[in-house]
Amino acid sequence: MKKGCIIGIVIAAVCAVFLFSLIGYGIKLNNNMVTMNETVDAAWSNVETQYQRRSDLIPNFVNTVKGAANFEQETLTQVIEARAKATSINIDPKNLDQQSLAKFQAAQGEVSSALSRLMVVVEQYPQLTATQNFRDLQVELEGTENRIAVARKNFNDTARSYNAYIKRFPNSIIAGMRGFEKKPYFEAAEGTDKAPDVQF
């Protein structure tokens, strides 16, 4: 065998090994992105589950409050309307973007605001707050609010990890070729960066 032929075979073998290594590395990056993307989608599903849990508690809470004599109907109506609006917004995690998340967050914020107003008004009805059913529902709602906060934080953490991963080089090349896009984050509600003004 000629020396040139042997060198050609060695070069071809090295090129083949390099090419297979490169393809294997690209496949590994792609699979990691798929896994991380699914983790973000699962975290989003957990967020929706907690908001749905709160939404499911609201009718029982409203019915319990409705039983109080002379209770302000306008406040109950605001809670019911905010819940209806929030439950009408469904987001497919595959199409989650900043605009759809902002719309979802605004609707859920209206529910939180309406529930807060309801809780303030309820304090004026000691006979209502003394009932076991009301207290149980209040504890359930408070627990759900905590679960929502945890689920949102978990979603932001997984989205941040995913976003950082797809932005790194050479991951960004594979992400661009395969259509992996940046995931949005939940943002703090406007004004939460300032401490409330408490007056005595």
What's the CATH number where 103 sits? Answer: 1.20.1440.20
Residue 98 placed within a domain: yes
Give 57's contacts (C-beta < 8 A, 6+ positions apart). Answer: 137, 140, 141, 144
- pLDDT tens string 124-181: 777 777 778 888 888 898 999 999 999 999 999 999 999 999 999 999 999 999 999 9
Residue 22 placed within a domain: no
pLDDT at 69 over 80: no
Which two three-digit tokens encode residue 56?
């499911």
Give the mean pLDDT of 4-28: 85
Residue 172 placed within a domain: yes
pLDDT band at 1 (very low <50, low <70, confident <90, very high): low
By residue range, what is the domain housing residue 173? 32-178
Residue 184 placed within a domain: no
Residue 77 placed within a domain: yes
Residue 84 placed within a domain: yes
* Residue 194: predicted pLDDT: 46
Residue 167 placed within a domain: yes
* Residue 151: predicted pLDDT: 95
* Residue 126: predicted pLDDT: 78
How many structural domains is the chain composed of? 1
Closest among 163, 162, 156, 142 to 188, alpha carbons compared: 156
pLDDT at 190 over 80: no
End-to-end Cα spacing for the chain: 98
Percent of the residues in the chain that have a pLDDT greater than 70, as a whole number: 92
Residue 169 placed within a domain: yes
Closest among 75, 127, 79 to 135, alpha carbons compared: 127
- pLDDT tens string 12-21: 888 888 888 8
